Structure 1
Amino acid sequence: MPSSWVWTTLGELCIFLSRGKSPKYKDDDRTYPVFAQKCNLKEGGISLEQARFIDPNTIDKWAEEYKLKTGDILINSTGTGTVGRTRLFNESCLGNYPFVVPDSHVSVVRTHDEIVSEFIYAYISSNFVQQYLEENLAGSTNQKELYIGVLDSLNIPLPPCKEQKRIADEIGKWSNLSYKIDVDRVHLTHTIKQVKNKILDLAIHGKLVPQDPTDEPAAELLKRINPKTEITSDNGHYQKLPEGWAVCQLDNIVSYEQPT
């Protein structure tokens, strides 16, 4: 580790490290949302679209520190398949809501102002830390729990503040590039599918390559390979086939053996 770095624990870097609380819900009053595990989206990012809502009569039971703030690191802490999922909170997701508080299945990591939360978020999100958290879960197979003590004692190699920022910025740059590549890949896959369909459509309409009137008509070809074939030049999908083409069933032009 570089000489200017130091080993510490996550608990030493936090001003608030806690699970949320179990709320009393009143979903017909959509004033105060509750951040649940499903708000940490599987595909990445956070959203309050599926949030439930606190009974306004119980709002005074929530201390100010439970109101999520930009830079808070949110970690799903219950349930196989979701436990350990880590996201970085930003108050921009609130929209018109005054604030949001976490339920008891989400752990909140709020670092001191001198600590770059994006760096800590990147560290906790890394494969080796995620593996460490998975190896230190408690509970039954179907109801795994990430206890707050595991997070509190998590070892962290801490660089100087300015280097934390540089590392976080570099990780953000490459993460954005990776995300763009994924999006472009999805778009490219869709485009390739459209191109293949268009090529086939052009071919079946005789527009992909020049037609040669001296070619043997497909009907004659079918007669030669299967004299019993019923030959037609039209079907429901392509009413006007190029001259010389024909429509047939697949089993008229293939041979196959039944499995023994």
Structure 2
Amino acid sequence: MNGKQLKNSILQWAIQGKLVPQDPNDEPASVLLEKIRTEKARLVKEGKIKKDKNESFIFRGDDNSYYEKFLATREVKCIDEEIPFEIPQGWEWERWGNISQSIQYGYNAPALEKGVIRMVRISDIQDNKVLWNTVPFCMIEEKDIETYLLKINDILFARTGGTVGKSFLVKDVPMKSIYAGYLIRTRYSSLLCPHYMKAFMESQLYWEQLKNGTIATAQPNCNGKTLAKMLLPIPPINEQKRIVERLHRISPFIERYSKSQDALNLMNMQIREQLKKSVLQEAIQGKLVPQIAEEGTSQELLEQIKLEKQKLIKEGKLKKSSLFDSIIYKGDDNKYYEQVNKKCLDITDQIPFEIPENWVWVRMGQIGDWGAGSTPQRGNANYYNGKILWLKTGELNNRIVYDTEEKVTQKAFQDYSLRMNKIGDVLIAMYGATIGKLAIVGKELTTNQACCGCTPYLIYNWYLFYFLMASRDSFIKKGEGGAQPNISRVKLVGHLIPLPPLKEQYRIVAQIEKLFEQLR
């Protein structure tokens, strides 16, 4: 259980009457609600608030069912299906609209450095505090100020965007202020405990009702009607105060627990990541699964790859130059050499670790056909909104990719000589913050220039995938140029890869995925 879950559980106990004991000497909530109705009627008569056309009251019938009576129409309906849980004797269910004196939308005006009055915006409220230093001014006519003026114990409610539903209890107003249009101010009877009302607006019951009343658009939003319809359990006023006092006492413990849990979660995540890195390092060093002599050698696999290349050259799918591979071997002096045409180079300092005898070191260009993508001219209608999937590096998901946000036309494909990556190809990001991100192609696609694709020759694509994952830190170190690292296609094809026999590649991948699943 994390800190948020613990807090949610405690708030749930609070609004269900399970956090503090009930006192039979407390004045019941029914009396409190009757006082609020009387107060509200007086304020309507005095012209201080508007009459609520949807005013109602909730009661429990002799059959133990819950009913709601609407005062304007005298309609009575059973609301048993809306009641989420049982509450203690002496408590009552009520609608937020019945206990509120007003539910007022904020004022729409541009934010200014100077003006008539301060205007609190959603962005000025952080961690249940108003950052008064950031609150701007606005222009508003004097006659309208009172309508939007903030007062102590008002509750502000975000009605749109990513913060929809978040609430803020106004505890002080150090400077005369109104509030902006994306907020709703709810003002309720002073007979209620403000901090209990705020606690309800952090409870799971509140969020569930809000979700049901939220309008799902590009920017989710909620309105005053949704808030007015919300059901909340009302305890006797003395119990409200006891609940708030208990919540206040245990709040520091919840905060400490939350921080400890967050630290533990971070540590567990870091341990999992380190274990995954260790698994990958063991895998590419030939230590994750045993070698089996009957599976042959990687040298034999390289011979098969050479034959495959010759076949592809004959079919016109590869250039003859792809056959000019180097040969890497270990000399009698235990040094590593690379034969390139007639040159023999000592590359011992490039070899990062020892590998099993039946493995070989090769350059990545030898085991696959590598090619980067391109970006067709932006703004040209002839190039976009076509049918060919076009992937950007931000869409690499470190698994299999089946779709892309954008698609290009056949004309773009031809004009820019785009590479078509086939199903099973391995993709890697070469530039910027995404360098080293990977994917396996699940559906034929092309890519932008920051992504390089590889069609492997007779090797298991998932072995290449996990080797590239294990090598990400190495690619970042090799990255060059500007504030963001980048690694060119030339450096990718020249990177060394330890190559096991094909059957061992399959066993390595199976063991990696088994261990990764256990780490989840």
- TM class by shorter chain equals 0.5 to 0.7
Q: Is the radius of gyration larger for structure 1 or structure 2? A: 2
Mapping 1:9-158, distance limit 5 Å: 9-25=95-111, 27-29=112-114, 32-41=117-126, 43-55=127-139, 58-79=140-161, 81-91=162-172, 94=174, 97=175, 99-138=176-215, 140=217, 142-158=218-234
Change (3 A) 1:2 1:51: same
The unaligned stretches of length 5 or more in structure 2 are: 1-86, 266-332, 336-348, 356-360, 362-496, 500-520
Tell whether 2:251 aligns with 1:175.
yes
Q: Is the 8 A contact 2:91 2:236 kept in 1?
A: yes
Matches of 1:114 and 1:34, distance apart in 2: 28
2:98 partner SS: helix
Q: Distance in 1 between matches of 2:201 and 2:114?
A: 35
Matches of 1:44 and 1:113 in 2, distance apart?
21
Distance 1:69 1:180, change over 3 A: farther
Q: 1:63 to 1:28 in 2, by over 3 A?
A: closer
- Aligned residue type for 1:78: T
Q: Deviations over 1:99-125 (max 9, x none)?
A: 111111111122211101111111111
Residues 130/250 of structure 1: CA separation in 2 closer, same or farther (3 Å cut) = farther
Which amino acid in structure 2 is aligned with residue 53 of structure 1?
F
State how far apart, in whole Å, the 2-side matches of 1:127 and 1:19 are: 24
Cα contact 1:16–1:65 (8 A) shared by 2: no
Partner of 1:34, secondary structure, is: strand
* Corresponding position of 1:165: 241
Q: Unaligned 5+ residue runs, structure 1?
A: 190-225, 229-248
Tell me if structure 2 keeps the 8 A contact 1:40–1:85: no
Amino acid at match of 2:247: I
- 250, 255, 259: which one aligns with 2:354: 255
Q: What TM-score do the two structures reach when normalised by structure 1? A: 0.64
Shift of 1:63: 3.8
In the aligned structure 1, how far is the partner of 2:182 from the partner of 2:146?
19
Give me the whole-angstrom Cα distance separating, in 2, the residues matched to 1:28 and 1:46.
17
Tell me, yes or no, if the aligned pair for 2:94 and 2:232 is still in contact at 8 Å.
Answer: yes
Alignment size in residue pairs: 195
Answer 1 or 2: which has greater strand percent. 2
Relative contact order (alpha carbons < 8 A, sep ≥ 6): 1 or 2 greater? 1
TM-score, reference length from structure 2: 0.34
Residue in 2 that maps onto 1:8 = 94
Q: Is the 8 A contact 1:40 1:86 kept in 2?
A: no
Letter in 2 for 1:119: Y
CA contact (8 A) 2:114 2:136 kept: no
Code of the aligned partner of 1:37: I
Instruction: Quote the RMSD (CA, aligned, Å).
Output: 3.1
